[in-house]
Structure 1
């Protein structure tokens, strides 16, 4: 893929910034930039971040290197960025549970909205219900019937708060007992589904896509109200009898707090340039990524909306704090 270098526009307000800040922005990056992914390697977010790093090679003279800092549902790696200097050399690519975690975890060392500089929303994150082809069910309905006949014996894998919530919300509304089985990444979850160690699991389209040609995996459902372009043959949960089921997340990029707005906009502009490239769009499609690029103001609106949604779910008792 070729992305031509072109100047990235700066905000008119940048003209009022002190000269040292303008010089720092103009020279960025003068050394490698790390993209911290707060999850284990080989998951959907990790794969997307690595694709972004490769796509940025023709745009800047310095490499963008992915660094996995897994732990505590994404909090470990996110805290590294929250505590780092806002000089543009540490960025964060994280899923929407970045916001949800404040209702899911007993404590947080940062505020997920206030303590980061938003760069851009990158993609929508539809959850898919994957199952091994050797399991004794081949549809969502038959899986739920099997779970009812075997209470507590059909575990459903998850990798973070959103996929855990989707799985437990489905079980709650279907009136079945399906224990949540936590994994550190979508890659690990999918490996266990392929091997037959895990009956089912909710994961991203990106994590599931590499396994679909093996014939060892079925997609029983997608979590959204409409079918997903990456898996057009997979029916929605709603189509299979669970009304008003429509849940999805997102993947976004953040920087440390208090970043110079001109530098933040320059990074946003670089992301926009990459995500508008036709070859990169095609690559995302092949990866199972649902492109949904939105600049920082729109990302903040989505985060605030999500915060209201999860607050209401927690108040209703549908989100339980981990102990």
Structure 2
């Protein structure tokens, strides 16, 4: 009896590492909390195939827009299946707690950063019919008649970047909120709104096609793909810099071993020549971090944007 018991215990002990290695044992979902076509969606679809190959499981990209990104984020924060991931604008997520009086989740406690993937500066663009060719002319025009400024969502990073420019220059914007970057871009291309600030990854194709006119880049230095376009800092807003950071997060309870494995695979994928070149050609920079570095970055972003939110008086009940 004792021999049989010991044998059974030994077999179970030997099986435990194998079971742990079986993750993932079903398809994974990458939830993008915005409509299709935005920067996060573009990156999610760029990495889903290679990630599926690496993990030997199907990886599905699922868009869950709503409540300025909070619907999809809350869904992932409460997921406990070990196979639901979140890919979003990390800056926007860091802003959320400062903008909303109440949230169904706590981004600092309920989510865990796995890997940073990419960064793209914001582009300040206008509909081609707007008679302005630089920031100064745009500001002067807005002071005569306030201009409709499309924002991906109230309290989003592009919205607060617009607020910062407005405060620094005296511009007069009339903010028009949307449910995501693709819708904000679409209405600006159609001329329903006149001004837009949005991530370069999703906006550059419309600049290159002539459907939008770019007046400034929100980076400390000019970007090679738009070398002729001055930065917003060059045009009088000293030190101005903002952008869209895409990263992958998981529910806080996901085991460390799975987080480590995901980070390693995603870092390899995003640095691979085919994915890197695809993103760089659209204006994004590959930007990787360890989970610990991600956590520190998120806290810095949260504190930094909290100051901008307070200065702009942006609040949602």
Q: Which of 239-248 and 165-174 deviates more? A: 239-248
The residue that corresponds to 2:312 in the other structure is 318
Determine whether 1:266 maps to 2:254.
no
> What is aligned with 1:32?
27
Task: Tell me the CA shift for residue 72 of structure 1.
Answer: 1.2
- 2:70 maps to which residue? 75
Matched, 1:282 2:285: no
State the Cα distance separating 1:186 from its structure 2 match: 1.6
Q: Which of 128, 150, 153 is 1:157 aligned to?
A: 150
Structure 1 residue 294: deviation in Å? 1.0
Larger mean CA deviation between 207-216 and 174-183 belongs to 207-216
Q: Once the 2 structures are TM-superposed, how far is the Cα of residue 133 of structure 1 from its aligned partner?
A: 1.6
CA contact (8 A) 2:201 2:279 kept: no
When Rg is computed on C-alpha atoms for both structures, the one with the higher figure is 2
Q: How far apart are 1:25 and its partner, in Å?
A: 3.9
Q: Tell me, which stretches of 5 or more residues in structure 1 are unaligned?
A: 1-17
> Displacement of 1:229 after TM fit?
3.9
Q: Which runs of 5+ in 2 are unaligned?
A: 1-12
Alpha-carbon distance, 1:146 to partner: 0.6
1:91 equivalent in structure 2:
85
Q: Is the CA contact 2:28–2:57 (under 8 Å) kept in the aligned structure 1?
A: yes
Q: Is the 8 A contact 1:155 1:181 kept in 2?
A: yes
Bigger mean CA offset, 207-216 vs 297-306: 207-216
Q: How many residues are aligned here?
A: 302
Q: Is the 8 A contact 2:66 2:72 kept in 1?
A: yes
The alpha carbon displacement at 1:235 in A equals 1.2
1:35/1:65 contact within 8 Å kept: yes
The residue aligned with 1:138 is 133
Say if 1:86 and 1:258, in contact at 8 Å, map to a contact too: no
8 Å contact kept, 1:91–1:253: yes
Residue 244 of structure 1 and its aligned partner are, at CA, apart by: 2.2
User: 1:181 and 1:25, CA in 2 relative to 1: closer, same or farther beyond 3 A?
Assistant: farther
Q: Map residues 283-302 of structure 1 onto 2, 5 A cutoff.
A: 283-302=278-297
Higher fraction of helix = 2
Q: CA RMSD of the aligned region, Å? A: 1.8
1:28-66: CA deviations, max 9, x gaps? 222211000000111111111111112324323222111
